[in-house]
Structure 1
Amino acid sequence: MAIQELHLSDNLFILAENQGRGDSGLNEVEKLPDLRVLDLGYNLLNGSISKSIGQLSNLRVLRLPGNSIDGDVISEAHFSNFTYLRKLDLSYTSLTLRFNSEWIPSFQLSQLLLCSCKLGPRFPNWIQTQMDVLNPDVEISSIDYFDISASGISDSLPYWFWDKFLVFSDINMSFNQISGTFPNNSIHISLLDLSSNNFSRPLPRFSLDYMMGAINLSKNKFTGSVSPICSITDKGGLALLDLSNNLFSGVVPDCFESFRSLTALNLGDNSFSGSLPSSLGSLVSLEKLSLRGNKFSGVLPSSLQNCAKLKFLDLSDNELSGEIPMWIGQKLSSLVFLSLQGNQFRGRIPHQLCGLKNLQILDLSVNKIPGTLPPCLNNFTSMAKKVSLERRIEHPILDTGVGDEPSWIIQGTKQSYPQLGLLLAIDLSWNKLTGEIPKELSSLQELVVLNLSRNHFNGKILQKIGYIRQLEVLDLSRNKFSGNIPTSLFELTFLSNLNLSYNDLSGKIPTSTQLQSFDPSSFSHNRGLCGPPISPNCSMVEPPPGKAAVGSEEDCDEFMKWFYTGMGLGFAVGFWGFCSVVFFKRS
């Protein structure tokens, strides 16, 4: 019996380059003329594709994604006899596709996946032939899954693209340099990813055709109001809406009552103003909310406490004010990431915040928060105890090869952090906090980053700070700490960034290979400190006193934002990359 289907994907098959012919060994499949399905995705194929593959005249499905196939340019000759081809997937192969501008394929595809192939710089004309309407009465296109992301296209979207058909299923054209306009009528989609392009003008109108839809228009140049989101047809089925990193402005409309399925909303890095819409509290399925980098003002609406499933809440870099609500710790107990950085919050840190046992990143920096630290911070179980990787939230980056890499600014130097999903951090810098560091903080043994700089803390540095054995970044600068540097710092074997400058510390810097390896600036402006690395020994004359440790505005430059800028940007990039993977990447 003749072989009609060959499914060998997700194995470790190696069809190495044939030294005599330079192909990947795929030419052997021409000996199977009855083959209808050829699936060799995600193996270890390399070399080139022979034109003889075009002799498989009965082929319906061709899947070769995730291999190292490159070699010669793919031309129409490779597809000469594919009359019945319906599904084509060459994603993640880095193949170059070049076809004659007049070429009309003999096939009509229902799925076209060419992610990371080289199609540009012009938008391929032959794609128009795959968008012919099968039934003009209902205007249904033949193609329902379309992915040309990261394909090197830097062109205007052709006029025929939206006019050719009105009903889509899944479209992914992200990570190109595509520009163009949108039709006046609604765009029917299930999943739409146009992120990281050059689209501009006002927000188009959308109509969802299926449940669990997703719209990602981030990192473009869209302008004006986002009020068209209120007109989305069947918006109850929308699961993800990402309009971040655009030029939107004005007040966000208060019309979220009908978005009952929304699990991720990102309006960050625009120019929105006004109060947060109270209808956000209607998003009872919401797990991720980012409104960072806008001009939102006023207090947090109490309706947000209804979003009990929230795991990620980023309201940083706005103009929000008032006290930090107690209900954040009482009602949003699932939070893993909380950032209120760069606002105008006042009032003490509520002890109810200690109820966030799953919290992995807490950023309250650059506010006007007074008072002492609540001793119950040791209730942050995720920071105090080792938890399995399965329970840790992860933030992989969209693997296109052209996406942003998560990074932060550490003392003026941009550094990458490859595993932001495993980061455990507390940043309370640039506030008005007072008193001593509570001894309970030493229970957070899994904490990686601790930044308490530019406050009014006093007393001795926590003697058991060395118990936080996973610390990599410790910044206690510009406070009023006094006494000796604790010898337990020896135990912080992972410590790579230390800043104790601008305090009232005294005595000899403890001798250890690690502490002496830090730059002298890490200990500067503590007139009572001596010994390496700031002086050869303690018999030398002490350096003159520096400027006041607290309130000094010198070096208010990149160092001022070294932690919160990088952590906010880096974490957000990783997180929203994760959302893209969840909603737009198919197996």
Structure 2
Amino acid sequence: MASLVNLVQLDLSHNNFFGKFSLELSNWTNLECLNLEGNKFSGTLPNTMQQNLHVIKLRGNRFIGNIPSQLCNLTCLTILELAENNLSGHIPHCLYKIMRPIMEFYPIYEIAVFAKGRELDYKKFLLVHSIDLSTNNLSGEIPKELFNLVQLWSLNLSRNHLIGKIPKEIGGMKGLESLDLSYNKLSGEIPWTISNLSFFDYLNLSYNNFTGQIPLGTQIQSFDPWSFIGNHELCGDPLPKNCYKQEASNDSKPAEGNEDDDFLKSLYLGMGVGFAAGFWGFCGSLFLVRAWRHKFFQLFHLLVDRLYVIVALKLKKAFNEY
């Protein structure tokens, strides 16, 4: 097989092949599509890959180790599926270098892509830009450089051990239709820039540690609550949990009306502290200074006597009139 120098597409999918797989000894300089999904291949991912590759589908195997940084050199890549393996380590920061615009025509015309929660068939695979790294053991933060892939159509990083926040750069991915970050350990607020994505058709952020209010936007509120469940500190439409304080759609800008609430809280707090300080200062002075204490009780008794006389005169006058 290594002698097939004109090989363009290699499809060994959905068999029972096992063992290690390498492209180092092959002369497939024209290879454009590599499909090994649904087998039992093991070992690490190939470090050497052909520069003309447009499709890499390795889903459902037993590959281990890190995602090789050599993938970043495949500038023609449009579909990368490494899901359902045992890959570990961080997502390479250099992945933003892939998926350069392709202007030529290639003979591979139809491809199946797992996106939007199901497998979809596409006639013109060159129009589909997809990355699926789900169901692995990937860790670390999502590289913000990954969201520079403005032409990306589908991104699935679900069922890993990713941490950190969703970078606000996600708002620049105008063509993104499908995003799945579920079952990770992501935290923080959902960036308000996600509301800029007007072509959203599938969104799943469930079972993370997101907090705050779900950003307001026509697309975001149109999804079912299951897209956000499992985030106990998340609130706002479409979840049934209301936010006690309407937070703004900007991560750093306070919501409208919150400034007045903060001012009133500060005012009430200052009044309470001032009253307590004055009260205990007055009582402490009476307790420590004997002359002040005597003077206070003299004034107190004098006030009581005057009130007694006033009340007695008022009552006597009332009885006489009666």
Scaled by the length of structure 2, the TM-score of the pair is 0.71
Q: What residue is the counterpart of 1:311 in the other structure?
A: 32
Question: Are the equivalent residues in 1 in contact too, given 2:115–2:154 (CA < 8 A)?
Answer: no
Q: What residue is the counterpart of 1:422 in the other structure?
A: 127
Name the SS for the 2:226 alignment partner.
helix
How far apart, CA to CA, are the structure 2 residues paired with 1:337 and 1:288?
A: 9
How far apart, CA to CA, are the structure 1 residues paired with 2:130 and 2:97?
A: 14
1:535 Cα deviation from its structure 2 partner: 2.1
Q: What residue is the counterpart of 1:339 in the other structure?
A: 57
Can you list the C-alpha shifts for 1:95-131, whole angstroms capped at 9, x where unaligned?
Answer: xxxxxxxxxxxxxxxxxxxxxxxxxxxxxxxxxxxxx
Can you list the C-alpha shifts for 1:152-185, whole angstroms capped at 9, x where unaligned?
Answer: xxxxxxxxxxxxxxxxxxxxxxxxxxxxxxxxxx
Question: Are the equivalent residues in 2 in contact too, given 1:337–1:362 (CA < 8 A)?
Answer: yes
Can you list the C-alpha shifts for 1:448-469, whole angstroms capped at 9, x where unaligned?
Answer: 0000000000000122111111
Decide which structure has the larger Cα Rg and report it.
2
How far apart, CA to CA, are the structure 2 residues paired with 1:416 and 1:282?
A: 31
Name the SS for the 1:474 alignment partner.
strand
Name the SS for the 2:75 alignment partner.
coil
How far apart, CA to CA, are the structure 2 residues paired with 1:320 and 1:411?
A: 24
What is the 5 A alignment of 1:36-435?
280-328=1-49, 332-382=50-100, 386-388=101-103, 390-391=104-105, 395=109, 410-411=116-117, 419-435=124-140
State which of 509, 512, 516 in structure 1 corresponds to 2:221: 516
Q: What residue is the counterpart of 2:279 in the other structure?
A: none
Is 2:159 the counterpart of 1:445? Answer: no
1:303 Cα deviation from its structure 2 partner: 4.9
State which of 457, 461, 465 in structure 1 corresponds to 2:166: 461
1:408 Cα deviation from its structure 2 partner: 5.7
The 1:448/1:392 distance shift into structure 2, 3 A limit, reads farther
1:421 Cα deviation from its structure 2 partner: 4.0
Can you list the C-alpha shifts for 1:39-59, whole angstroms capped at 9, x where unaligned?
Answer: xxxxxxxxxxxxxxxxxxxxx
Question: Are the equivalent residues in 1 in contact too, given 2:151–2:175 (CA < 8 A)?
Answer: yes
Amino acid at match of 1:423: V
Q: What residue is the counterpart of 2:314 in the other structure?
A: none
Name the SS for the 1:370 alignment partner.
strand
Amino acid at match of 1:292: S
> Which has more helix, going by share of residues?
2
Amino acid at match of 1:472: E
1:373 Cα deviation from its structure 2 partner: 0.7
Name the SS for the 1:282 alignment partner.
coil
How far apart, CA to CA, are the structure 1 residues paired with 2:87 and 2:113?
A: 27
1:422 Cα deviation from its structure 2 partner: 1.0
The 1:415/1:356 distance shift into structure 2, 3 A limit, reads closer
Gaps in structure 1 of 5+ consecutive residues: 1-279, 398-405, 541-587
1:287 Cα deviation from its structure 2 partner: 0.7
1:309 Cα deviation from its structure 2 partner: 1.0
How far apart, CA to CA, are the structure 2 residues paired with 1:443 and 1:427?
A: 16
Question: Taking every aligned residue pair, what percent have the same amino acid on both sides?
Answer: 44
Amino acid at match of 2:3: S
1:306 Cα deviation from its structure 2 partner: 2.1
State which of 491, 494, 498 in structure 1 corresponds to 2:196: 491
Scaled by the length of structure 1, the TM-score of the pair is 0.40
How far apart, CA to CA, are the structure 1 residues paired with 2:108 and 2:228?
A: 35
How far apart, CA to CA, are the structure 2 residues paired with 1:327 and 1:415?
A: 29
1:387 Cα deviation from its structure 2 partner: 4.1
Question: Are the equivalent residues in 1 in contact too, given 2:175–2:197 (CA < 8 A)?
Answer: yes
How far apart, CA to CA, are the structure 1 residues paired with 2:152 and 2:192?
A: 19
Can you list the C-alpha shifts for 1:66-96, whole angstroms capped at 9, x where unaligned?
Answer: xxxxxxxxxxxxxxxxxxxxxxxxxxxxxxx
Question: Are the equivalent residues in 1 in contact too, given 2:148–2:169 (CA < 8 A)?
Answer: no
Q: Which has the higher contact order (CA 8 A, sep 6+)?
A: 2
What is the 5 A alignment of 1:502-581?
502-535=207-240, 537-539=242-244
Name the SS for the 2:86 alignment partner.
coil
Question: Are the equivalent residues in 1 in contact too, given 2:99–2:129 (CA < 8 A)?
Answer: no
The 1:342/1:474 distance shift into structure 2, 3 A limit, reads same
Can you list the C-alpha shifts for 1:338-365, whole angstroms capped at 9, x where unaligned?
Answer: 0111000001011111111100000000
Q: What residue is the counterpart of 2:274 in the other structure?
A: none
1:435 Cα deviation from its structure 2 partner: 0.4
Question: Are the equivalent residues in 2 in contact too, given 1:396–1:421 (CA < 8 A)?
Answer: no
Name the SS for the 1:457 alignment partner.
strand
How far apart, CA to CA, are the structure 2 residues paired with 1:506 and 1:295?
A: 44
How far apart, CA to CA, are the structure 2 residues paired with 1:305 and 1:440?
A: 32
The 1:303/1:351 distance shift into structure 2, 3 A limit, reads closer
How far apart, CA to CA, are the structure 1 residues paired with 2:166 and 2:116?
A: 22
Amino acid at match of 1:312: C
How far apart, CA to CA, are the structure 1 residues paired with 2:137 and 2:204?
A: 19
Can you list the C-alpha shifts for 1:420-474, whole angstroms capped at 9, x where unaligned?
Answer: 4411000000000000011111110100000000000000012211111111000
Question: Are the equivalent residues in 2 in contact too, given 1:324–1:347 (CA < 8 A)?
Answer: yes
How far apart, CA to CA, are the structure 2 residues paired with 1:350 and 1:476?
A: 22
Amino acid at match of 2:61: N
Aligned pair count? Answer: 245
Alpha-carbon RMSD across the aligned residues, in angstroms, is 2.2
